[in-house]
Structure 1
Amino acid sequence: MVLSKVTIDIPKNKTYKDLIEEYGDELGVLQREVRRLNLSVNVVFEGWYDSFVGEIINQQLLPLDSRGFDFYFTEAPTSEERKKPFMTRFSQKIAPKGKLAVFDRSWYMRGVIEQLMDDSNPLMCGQNPALDDNALSLFTETTKKEIIHTERFDRLIDNINGFEKTLTDDNNILIKIYFGISKEDRVKRKNSWKKTIPYIIDKRSMEKVYREDIYVIKELLDRTHTEHSPWSLILVKQDLDLAILQTMKTIIDQLKPAIEHAQLKLEKEYRNGENIPDIEKIDELTGEKEIVHYEDRYADHLAKVNLTKAYGKKDYKKKLKKYQNRLAFLHYVLYSQKKAMVLVFEGWDAAGKGGSIKRIVQSMNPRFYRVIPIASPTDVDLRHHYLWRFLDGIPTCGKTSIYDRSWYGRVMVERVEHFCTEEEWHRAYDEINLFEKMLTDSGMIVIKFWLHVSKEKQLERFNARAANPLKQWKLTDEDWRNREKWDQYYNAVNQMIEETSTKNAPWVIVESDDKYYARVKILKTIIKHIEKEIPGQEKVNKKNLNE
């Protein structure tokens, strides 16, 4: 796709000031529509550093209600942000429904600085202190054009495009504007800047900056100018008011059709009665059809599981102690090498997730791990993309996060209970794979466990809990309701495993009719993955781990 340059025709009977006032009023109206229709709008401003980006952005914000937008000037990451995957801190700032988020620089400029210019540490765990900790880093370091032919550059492009597609697929509005400047205008700007900020000019040849960096910027824009998330290019000349008008027009022209589409969709839902959920009717119309359809299409991964595997108590205690000791050592190795790990636990009710997690953390230093139990989303969570509420739990370098339930609720509970549309849970498979790729691309270990039990074993455990006063709290009405939909969940799990078990983030199905066997297998699996990722550790206890 070719970047489109923004142009504007100025009526003869209008001045720049008149049009700026008119466009400002229109932006205010559109902002109120965004709030009414519960839309998420994200405006990204990037541009050459001598193109008055800040001044132009300010004129876009003045007509808006300050309660309806958040403004972010993207600077260097904090010490904690540096320890997490690159895109995490931007994902957390995406506008909730009903608001705008405005980014003065974004994942683009910071991607160049943090992901491409710092060759000292590709995983960003302990960034090169030689790089300036502010937005001027790009002005004082040379970006070589050869960097566009590297794996790191390709990985950055993939992460950005995947991130933006996830947003737009979820009906978030994304407007991207790049401010360019011609060579002639840059020369004029240079002469005026020398009087006010000569230290920047003196640090680096402006012509060298342009010759070297322009290759990287052009390639970055070309490869992220997509159908779902295009760039608008505004050439800033000496007349700043023209650039302000062009920017306003760009935002208005992209907001209008998005608002009209949302309004038409809302009207259609009201006409069809879709705004009033009727779960019984939905089950009647789509439930059985869905089950038959997916039974035939996806392999039955769960049917292949041998649930007779078991350990005796004596053998279990011996193995448990051995593997816990080994994991305790490896967890310190992870911390010392700043290697983060994410463990995801999903499974049938009463499959033993809590007991398995307990046996894992018994051997870990509490300073270096965090167990994250996932409950139903809050009202605040529901104003964001469904992955948003899991971002805070992403571990920093050297730490481990253990999710007791996770983002896979989207393709299980929310699918079966009709808390999201069919289109939304279908789309979630790709979104989850992109999300987990972001984690593994940053160097994290990601392991996902599905704890599988037979329907008979589950009923046995339910009855045991009901009869035990100390465990009755574990059994809820929801557990019994979920059991009634066993077949629907069974099909959803098979499809989930097939769609989201990837090379770098595989599913491990755990035979859990015997809790002893399940706990040992989980410990062994974690140990194997750590040893594979850490040089020099893979040969230790090789015989025991392959039993």
Structure 2
Amino acid sequence: MKESLRLALLEAQLELARRASRSVLLLVTGHAAAGKTALINELNHRLENRLTEVHALAPSSEERERPYWWRYWRRLPARGRVGVFVHGWYGDALFARVEQRLGEGAFRDRLAEIRAFEAELAAENVAIIKLWLDIDRDVQGRHLRELWHDPERAWQVKDHDWQRHLQYAALASRGHEMRRATEADHAPWLCLVGGPGQKPMKALAHRLVEAMAGSLPDVEAPVSRSVAGAAGPPRLADLAAQAPRALGKARYRERLAEAQARLAGNAREIQRRRIPVVLVFEGQDAAGKGGCIHRLTSALDARQYRVHRIAAPSDEERAHPWAWRFWRRLPLDGRVAIFDRSWYGRVLVERVEGLAEPAAWRRAYDEIRRFERQLLAHGAVLGKLFLAVDKDEQLRRFRSRAETPHKRHKLTDEDWRNRERWEDYRRAIDDMFVHTHDVDGGWALIDANDKRRARLAVLDHANRLLEARLAEPR
């Protein structure tokens, strides 16, 4: 590689880090013995390696106990950095298909997931380069034999390299199918010839400079639709006709103890059977989410659950795609993750307060549905609870907080400001229900005007979700 190109690559990377407006993701895959390792080693020498992260993954036990895509989301490079994946999600799909661990339909489904994943990243200013290193089959065989018979280089040849050589035709055919199905303007394939005597570094360096410094292609956002097949999304207006009577303290305490005992038993069985649980709490200000979560966690082993209170993103979170901070908080199998506010903030507060562009929050409906489908596909129990109060009850609680010394910290200027936009939030909430209320991931709308009844309703809903999952055949 010419010195001028090497300098241009380094300067582009340093400028990428200075601006920190995008990240670059390089995925290197292809045939065995095509020189992937040598190419990445050379690239590491050309780049500032303090700003570069290389990942060659064999999934750990921790990763197997979370949804498939967790292992990649958690390793995405922050803005200003370069992330390199060896084989990555393409190797997972391709090798599984060739070895018939994925059927034809499952392979197509995985490719569709890949397209959606890459579109989501590209929309969040991730520049994606996908490199396929090709090699002629005869050249591959000769090169493997030369390495194998060289005492100083034989260690470079592994058993799986010979296996890939025997699978060459299938890998070539399925690889072509895979590239064709996942080609996109925002995530194009770069196909180069590798192997002995080949120098793919120059072409890759040019592409990297372009990705670091050039304009990013537009990503066509999917048109969000209401969820088909659901029983019908709830609406805030549905609560107006309910108005249950207040529940007496003695009866409440009796029912609370019963519900918590039931939950404790269900949670122990969930843990024994290694079933992950994700509970999402959304609601209007002063609707009592914290009180409901406290009554719920009081029935759980503290080692089994974690409560994630989602507020404004940190600097580290802002440096990654918006869904990154939720993916990294997903629980291990057998554990419970409770979200006090969640990814739905993008289509609620970020929408209403103008913190997300219209294209971003409209796109988020589809991204949220896909995220939740992946949780469910992993076998998680997903519960989504929205606690609602009417406008008069919210005002009463605001005033009570203002007048009670140990509750004043709960009332902020933001709460009053949000109240002034009550109708804007009401429309956003109802839209959220329409677009994200699914059969397997539906919303439970909880009338929170009476705190005691709301807490019991939350416990009852959680118990029913866990019992339904435990009743399924293993």
Fold-level similarity (TM above 0.5): yes
Shift of residue 65, structure 1, vs aligned partner: 2.3
Q: What is the aligned partner in structure 2 of residue 495 from structure 1?
A: 431
| Distance (whole Å) between structure 1 residues aligned to residue 112 and residue 238 of structure 2 | 35
CA distance in 2, matches of 1:108, 1:44: 9
Alpha-carbon distance between aligned partners in 2 of 1:92 and 1:351, rounded to the nearest angstrom:
32
Tell me what 1:430 maps to: 366
**Structure 1 102/208 Cα, relative in aligned 2: closer, same or farther at 3 Å?**
closer
Aligned equivalent of 1:248: 205
The SS at the match of 2:471 is coil
Deviations 1:455-485 (A, max 9, x none): 0000111111222222222212221121112
Aligned length in residues? 454
State how 1:267-282 maps to structure 2 within 5 Å. Answer: none
- Consecutive unaligned residues of structure 2, counting only runs of 5 or more, are 219-232
Aligned 8 A contact 2:31 2:134 in 1: yes
Counterpart of 2:15 (choices 33, 53, 72) is 33
Are the counterparts in 1 of residues 10 and 48 from structure 2 also a CA contact under 8 Å?
yes
Of 234, 239, 264, 2:197 maps to 239
2:329 to 389, 393, 398: 393
SS of aligned partner of 1:393: coil
Kindly state the Cα deviation for residue 532 of structure 1 after the two structures are TM-superposed.
2.2
Matched, 1:223 2:177: no
Distance 1:310 1:52, change over 3 A: farther
State whether residues 134 and 194 of structure 2, in contact with CA within 8 Å, keep that contact through their aligned partners in structure 1: yes
Match of 2:417 in 1: 481
1:450 CA displacement: 1.0
Does the CA-based 8 Å contact 1:307-1:513 persist in structure 2?
A: no
**Distance in 2 between residues matched to 1:537 and 1:364, nearest whole Å:** 24
Change (3 A) 1:30 1:400: same
Structure 2 residue 318 is matched with structure 1 residue 382: yes
Q: Deviations over 1:189-227 (max 9, x none)?
A: 122122233773599556533245445444433332334
User: 1:392 offset after TM fit, Å?
Assistant: 2.6
Q: Secondary structure at the match of 1:97?
A: coil
CA distance 1:495–1:233, change in 2 (3 Å):
same
Matched, 1:258 2:215: yes
Contact 1:307 1:512 in 2 (8 A): no
Q: Aligned-residue CA RMSD in angstroms? A: 2.7
Partner of 1:88: 70
Q: Is the 8 A contact 2:185 2:217 kept in 1?
A: no
Contact 1:465 1:471 in 2 (8 A): yes
Seen in structure 2, the aligned counterparts of structure 1 residues 157 and 203 have a Cα distance that, compared at 3 Å, is closer
Q: Which amino acid aligns with 2:112?
A: D
Q: Secondary structure at the match of 1:380?
A: helix
Give the Å deviation of 1:238.
2.6
Question: In structure 1, how many angstroms separate the alpha carbons of the residues matched to 2:439 and 2:13?
Answer: 43
SS at the partner of 1:371? strand
CA contact (8 A) 1:181 1:237 kept: yes
Query: Per-residue CA shift, 1:497-538, capped at 9, x if unaligned?
Result: 112222332121111111122112222222222222223699
**Aligned equivalent of 2:46:** 63
Cα distance between partner residues in 2 of 1:462 and 1:387: 32
Q: How far apart are 1:36 and its partner, in Å?
A: 4.1
Are the equivalent residues in 1 in contact too, given 2:141–2:165 (CA < 8 A)? Answer: no
**Kept after mapping to 1: 8 A contact 2:278/2:336:** yes
Question: Please, what TM-score do these two structures have when normalized by structure 2?
Answer: 0.88
Within the alignment, does 1:191 sit opposite 2:145 as a pair? yes
Q: Are positions 1:308 and 2:240 aligned together?
A: no
The one-letter amino acid paired with 1:61 is N
Residue 309 of structure 1, CA deviation: 2.2
Indicate conservation of the 8 Å contact 1:194/1:201, yes or no. Answer: no
The residue aligned with 2:344 is: 408
After TM superposition, list the pairs within 5 Å mapping 1:85-124 onto structure 2.
85-111=67-93, 116=96
- Amino acid of the structure 1 residue aligned with 2:236: L
2:230 maps to what in 1? none
Aligned pair in 2 of structure 1 residues 535, 59: CA closer, same or farther (>3 Å)? same
Distance 1:207 1:179, change over 3 A: closer
- Is the counterpart of residue 317 in structure 1 residue 253 in structure 2? yes
Query: Which runs of 5 or more residues in structure 1 are unaligned?
Result: 1-18, 118-142, 262-298, 539-547
Q: Structure 1's 206 and 77: CA in aligned 2 closer, same or farther, altered over 3 A?
A: closer
Number of the residue aligned with 2:355 = 419
Structure-2 change in CA distance of 1:228 and 1:440 (3 Å): farther
In structure 2, give the amino acid aligned to 1:76: A
- Partners of 1:72 and 1:29 lie apart in 2 by 20
Aligned-partner SS, 2:354? coil
Give a deviation string over 1:148-183, Cα, whole Å, max 9, x none: 4243x3443333222211101122111111112111
Question: Residue 389 of structure 2 contacts residue 448 of structure 2 at CA under 8 Å; is this kept in 1?
Answer: yes
Q: Which moved more, 1:305-314 or 1:211-220?
A: 211-220
> For residue 14 of structure 2, what is the amino acid of its counterpart?
R
Q: Equivalents in 2 of 1:112, 1:183: separation in Å?
A: 18
> Is the Cα contact below 8 Å between 2:331 and 2:337 reproduced in 1?
yes
8 A Cα contact 2:31 2:164, kept in partner: no
Change (3 A) 1:368 1:484: same
Aligned counterpart in structure 2 of residue 182 of structure 1, from 136, 151, 155: 136
Correspondence for 1:504: 440
- Tell me the secondary structure at the aligned position of residue 207 of structure 2: helix
Q: Which residue of 160, 167, 173 maps to 1:209?
A: 167
1:316 Cα offset (Å)? 2.8
Tell me the CA shift for residue 453 of structure 1: 0.5
**Secondary structure in structure 2 of the residue aligned to 1:509:** strand
CA contact (8 A) 1:96 1:384 kept: yes
Query: 2:221 matched to which residue of 1?
Result: none
